[in-house]
Amino acid sequence: MEIFSVLGLVFAILCSITAEYACNGDTYLAACLESDHDALIDVKIGIKDPENRLSSWHGSNCCQWRGIACDNTTGAVIRIDLHNPYPSTSDTPRYGFWNLSGEIRPSLQKFKSLTHLDLSFNTFQGIPIPGFFGSLKNLQYLNLTTAGFRGSIPPNLGNLSSLQYLDVSSQPLTVDNLQWMTGLASLKHLDMNQVDLSLVGSNWIEVLNKLPFLTDLHLSNCGLFGSISSLGSLNFTSLAVIDISLNSFNSKFPDWIANVSSLVYVDMSQSIFHGRIPIGLGELPNLQYLNLFGNQNLSADCLELFRGSWKKIEVLGFSDNKLHGKLPASIGNMTFLTDFDLSSNGVGGGIPSSIGTLRNLTSMGLGGNELNGTLPESFGQLPELTFFDVSSNQLTGIISEVHFSKLSKLKILFLSSNSFILNVSSSWVPPFQVRNLDLGSCHLGPPFPDWLESQKELMYLDFSNGSISGSIPSWFWDMSSNLSLLNVSLNQLTGQLPNPLIVAPFADIDLSSNLFKGPIPLPLAEIELLDLSNNQFSGPIPPNISESVPDLIFLSLSGNQLTGEIPASIGEMMSLQVIDLSMNNLTGRIPSSIGNCSYLKALDLGNNNLSGAIPSSLGQLQQLQSLHLNDNMFSGEFPTTFTNLSSLETLDLGNNRLSGNIPTWIGNGLANLRILKLRSNAFSGGVPSNLSNLTSLQVLDLAKNNLTGSIPESLGDLKAMAQELKINQYLFYGLYRGLYYEESLVLNIKGQSQKYTKTLSLLTSIDLSGNNLNGDFPVEITKLFGLMVLNLSGNHISGQIPSNISSLRQLGSLDLSRNKLSGAIPPSMSSLTFLGYLNLSNNNFSGVIPYRGQMATFGESAFDGNPGLCGYPLVLKCEVGEDSDKGNSVENEDSDEFIDQWFYFSVGLGFAAGILLPYLIIATRKPWSDAYFSFVDKIVDRLSWVRERRATRNRNRHHQ
């Protein structure tokens, strides 16, 4: 140290007496060559420098100028560093003030000795990278990142055979052929993140494989695609860093990676790799960072993969893949591990207690797997742990104070969706101050968890479904002002809530499904989500709601005992996307001001005592996707302004007193309609034939009206019912920050009303029962291969059931009772293997009942009231010779054919057999629809869980 400062002093003295030499701080510098001086002045002329960064660029000794360094013996300029020291990404963003722009004059190529050129973080507004850079033969370092260049990277950069560092990342550059790179024989560090390489094909990896010194390779988000799984012979002997994340390879995992023993850092996340992760990866001796997150289809048996020594590993990311198997105890050997993310895979087995030895672990994500067993007590021994997620597994057992004994740094804890029982003493003071606590469906109660009182930093709190009863203690409302998320839904909490509720601005408050009483409490801060549904709140909706929470996005007060009218001020809450006031005792008319809520996506006012005409202003809601006005006393005609509701997917006006014709424009105006329910009104006239233009229509319920005429042939053209089912999420309306609204609908199927939610998007149904429809059985309906429910009962339909009715392969419920149908029951019906409900009673069918196959599962009541029908199960015997069908009847119940069909059906939905098989077994024992829907409910539950979880994670990241 001292020697250097003495040297510095000596140079300083030397400088002051020697005119030839110039000094810059402690560095001893040569005087600049005149030719270099002139060239720099010319370079300066080209550059626009609004902040006068180059103010030092005057005088004769250019070696002293800002950013310039010269060779200390020849005086030639060897370094030009014009990078912007205040990029927008830094803590003190001053981007725009220090930027250089303008042109780069060809005089730059005169610096033949230049080894270092840095123009990074400037704004050369879309000029191309000058080709003459390729003539700077001695260049070792070229940094042009985020400098505002655009266009093709000039191939003659390939002449830079001394270049060791090349950074051209983060700007709209393209390369169509990487062949020139083979000339960069000295290259160590290549950064082309975000450069468009989508035209280079898949030989880029072979080109780079020819660069023997390459250590750092950054090709993230370059539009690369195609297989990189085979490589001639492996030349990467020095490669330490490889980042090829965010590409679309759609390639088998390149096994050769596991042979590059020099690797320290590997990021191959979100790049569509599939296939097996090579076991050898676990043996890479120097690896510190491995991220394979979000490829979705990478598989490995954890027991094998994590048995690898991975002696130096610090970060391991595998989330959103298909890892399976169990975690081995040897995972405890990775003592340098700080971040471990295995969430959203298929990992089973227990959490090894050896994790307690991972003393450096700060973050561990195991959520969304199939882990079972208990949380080992050694978990409490992780002193650095700040983030821990085991949500959505099958973990059980008691979690006690021991499990947290040394977790003093814990900030984020997700234990939800397991079967944990949290058993801590009421006087427990946790060693941590947690910020984000997700304990959903952990058994916490019955008393309120008092230890929460110690948690002063809580921002996100979810203890929904926690078996907690009694009232919320008053201290809770003293700490609630920091809460951005409060979810206490699905408990048995009682009592009145403080009014106003005190929470943080923009909070999401979910107090639904409890036993809260009293008037509706309104928050003091402007919040986003307020869900008070399914409680015992009473009284009116506060008329000042719009003043209290003007920025609310989601409002649900459904399922309470609210009375009075809907306040007109609701129309002043312009951010609302969901209003659910269903299942209360609201009276009066719909305030027409609701038409001002122009972001509204879902409006549910069903099951109240609302009356009057439906206001025409609802037709202004261009974004409305779901409208439920069912089960009220609305009267008048179908509002003509609804023709503007072009986003509408669900329209439920059932059980009202609406009259007039069903307008024919429905088929054109409501182009996205998926569900049309007008059941139990007083609509008259015909069924509009252009309903068939509704290509997404999957539920058509016009039952119990006064409709006349025949069933239009065009119904056979309803596209959405004529195709295989597939899971889709149209009926989850994604809102904002992970909020979503879930569609539901009550339908009458098999003579019973049932509420459908998650499975609704899979249901197809036509119900025209209880009208005055006549004419022949609409043969065209047999084109609807995807139809699951058909109910035409209680009309005057005549003619015969067409023999090709069996082409309705998905049919689960068929009700043709109380009509004038005649002729034989087509024998082909016995092949309708999903048919779980059949009612042909009270018609004029005749002949033998084809009582075999699926038909043999129905009793007498299905065929009653048809005087001409004979044979089993009816008492009336057929004439001798007719009775040929009875023999091979009942064995079908367990037939392989049934399972095969089921399998085919469900695989059609895109589910893997592995998930499916357990449910198949149930499926054969229960009526088809129950099994089917409960099965799909589970799957969709999982899907929506993944969505929700992601949203929460993003939120947490955002707030970390």
Ligand X SMILES: *[C@@H]1O[C@H](CO)[C@@H](O)[C@H](O)[C@H]1NC(C)=O
Provide the CB-side half-sphere exposure for 939 (13 A, CA): 25
Nearer to ligand X, 23 or 507 (CB): 23
| Site membership for ligand X, residue 202 (CB under 6 A) | no
Alpha helix ranges (H) inside 445-565: 474-479, 545-548
Distance of closest approach, residue 118 Cβ to ligand X, in angstroms: 6
Which range of residues in 208-216, 525-533, 555-563, 940-948 is near ligand X by CB under 6 A? 208-216
Name residue 348's beta-bridge partners: 326
Nearest to 404 by CA among 427, 426, 432: 432
Nearer to ligand X, 120 or 295 (CB): 120
Sketch the per residue contact string, 25 through 44, with ligand X: x for CB under 6 A, - otherwise.
---x----------------
Nearest to 279 by CA among 303, 312, 297: 303
- Tell how far CA 593 is from the center of its chain: 34
Q: Is residue 647 a contact partner of residue 672, using CB atoms and an 8 Å limit?
A: yes
Nearer to ligand X, 212 or 543 (CB): 212
| Site membership for ligand X, residue 167 (CB under 6 A) | yes
Nearer to ligand X, 220 or 956 (CB): 220
Tell me whether residue 468 is exposed, middle or buried, using C-beta atoms within 10 angstroms of its C-beta: 0 to 12, 13 to 18, 19 or more.
Answer: buried
Nearer to ligand X, 259 or 643 (CB): 259
Distance of closest approach, residue 329 Cβ to ligand X, in angstroms: 4
| Site membership for ligand X, residue 83 (CB under 6 A) | yes
Sketch the per residue contact string, 120 through 149, with ligand X: x for CB under 6 A, - otherwise.
xx---------------------x-x----
Helix/strand/coil (H, E, C) string of 392-444?
CCEEEEEECHHHHCCCCCCCEEECCCCEEEECCCCCCCCCCCCCEEECCCCEC
Cα separation values, 542 from 222, 495, 499, Å: 54, 19, 11
Nearer to ligand X, 44 or 210 (CB): 210
Distance of closest approach, residue 249 Cβ to ligand X, in angstroms: 20
| Site membership for ligand X, residue 92 (CB under 6 A) | no
Which range of residues in 227-235, 674-682, 706-714, 855-863 is near ligand X by CB under 6 A? 227-235
Distance of closest approach, residue 71 Cβ to ligand X, in angstroms: 7
Which range of residues in 274-282, 329-337, 373-381, 913-921 is near ligand X by CB under 6 A? 329-337
- H or E element that contains 666: helix 666-669
Q: Is residue 401 a contact partner of residue 428, using CB atoms and an 8 Å limit?
A: yes
Cα separation values, 377 from 357, 383, 388, 401, 427, Å: 12, 13, 14, 9, 20
| Site membership for ligand X, residue 191 (CB under 6 A) | yes
Q: Is residue 112 a contact partner of residue 132, using CB atoms and an 8 Å limit?
A: no
Q: How far apart are CA 536 and CA 424, in angstroms?
A: 31
DSSP result, 584-640: S--EEPPPGGGGG-TT--EEE--SSEEEEEPPGGGGG-TT--EEE--SSEEEEEPPG
Q: Which of 96, 172, 212, 868 binds ligand X (CB under 6 A)?
A: 212
Nearer to ligand X, 165 or 293 (CB): 165
Sketch the per residue contact string, 389 through 418, with ligand X: x for CB under 6 A, - otherwise.
------------------------------
Q: Which of 46, 332, 591, 799 binds ligand X (CB under 6 A)?
A: 332
Nearer to ligand X, 209 or 513 (CB): 209
Nearer to ligand X, 169 or 831 (CB): 169
| Site membership for ligand X, residue 188 (CB under 6 A) | no
Name residue 462's beta-bridge partners: 438, 487
Distance of closest approach, residue 283 Cβ to ligand X, in angstroms: 12
| Site membership for ligand X, residue 24 (CB under 6 A) | no
Which range of residues in 126-134, 324-332, 466-474, 812-820 is near ligand X by CB under 6 A? 324-332
| Site membership for ligand X, residue 210 (CB under 6 A) | yes
Q: How far apart are CA 490 and CA 498, in angstroms?
A: 19
Sign of CA dihedral 927, 931, 937, 940: negative
Q: How far apart are CA 147 and CA 117, in angstroms?
A: 12
| CB neighbour list of residue 338: distance below 8 Å, 6 or more residues apart | 314, 315, 360, 361, 362, 363, 384
Q: Is residue 154 a contact partner of residue 169, using CB atoms and an 8 Å limit?
A: no
Nearer to ligand X, 230 or 804 (CB): 230
| Site membership for ligand X, residue 209 (CB under 6 A) | yes
Long-range contacts: 272-279, Cβ < 8 Å, 24+? Answer: 272/247, 272/248, 272/296, 272/297, 273/249, 273/297, 273/298, 274/250, 274/298, 275/229, 275/299, 276/300, 277/253, 277/305, 277/323, 278/253, 279/304, 279/305, 279/308
Q: Binders of ligand X among 787-816, rule CB under 6 A? A: none
Cα separation values, 540 from 3, 520, 560, Å: 84, 8, 11
Distance of closest approach, residue 30 Cβ to ligand X, in angstroms: 9
| Site membership for ligand X, residue 72 (CB under 6 A) | yes
Distance of closest approach, residue 135 Cβ to ligand X, in angstroms: 21
Nearer to ligand X, 229 or 248 (CB): 229
Q: Binders of ligand X among 338-357, rule CB under 6 A? A: 354
Distance of closest approach, residue 159 Cβ to ligand X, in angstroms: 17
Distance of closest approach, residue 245 Cβ to ligand X, in angstroms: 17
Q: Which of 189, 601, 852, 949 binds ligand X (CB under 6 A)?
A: 189
Distance of closest approach, residue 223 Cβ to ligand X, in angstroms: 21
Distance of closest approach, residue 193 Cβ to ligand X, in angstroms: 11
Sketch the per residue contact string, 231 through 250, with ligand X: x for CB under 6 A, - otherwise.
-xx-x---------------
Q: How far apart are CA 530 and CA 497, in angstroms?
A: 14
Nearer to ligand X, 191 or 717 (CB): 191
| Site membership for ligand X, residue 831 (CB under 6 A) | no
- Tell how far CA 210 is from the center of its chain: 40
Residue 55's CB is within 10 A of a number of other CB atoms, namely 10
Distance of closest approach, residue 105 Cβ to ligand X, in angstroms: 22
Q: Binders of ligand X among 523-562, rule CB under 6 A? A: none
Distance of closest approach, residue 110 Cβ to ligand X, in angstroms: 21
Number of chain residues interacting with ligand X (CB under 6 A): 22
Which range of residues in 260-268, 330-338, 465-473, 922-930 is near ligand X by CB under 6 A? 330-338
Residues that bind ligand X (CB under 6 A): 28, 72, 83, 120-121, 143, 145, 165, 167, 189, 191, 209-210, 212, 232-233, 235, 329-330, 332-333, 354
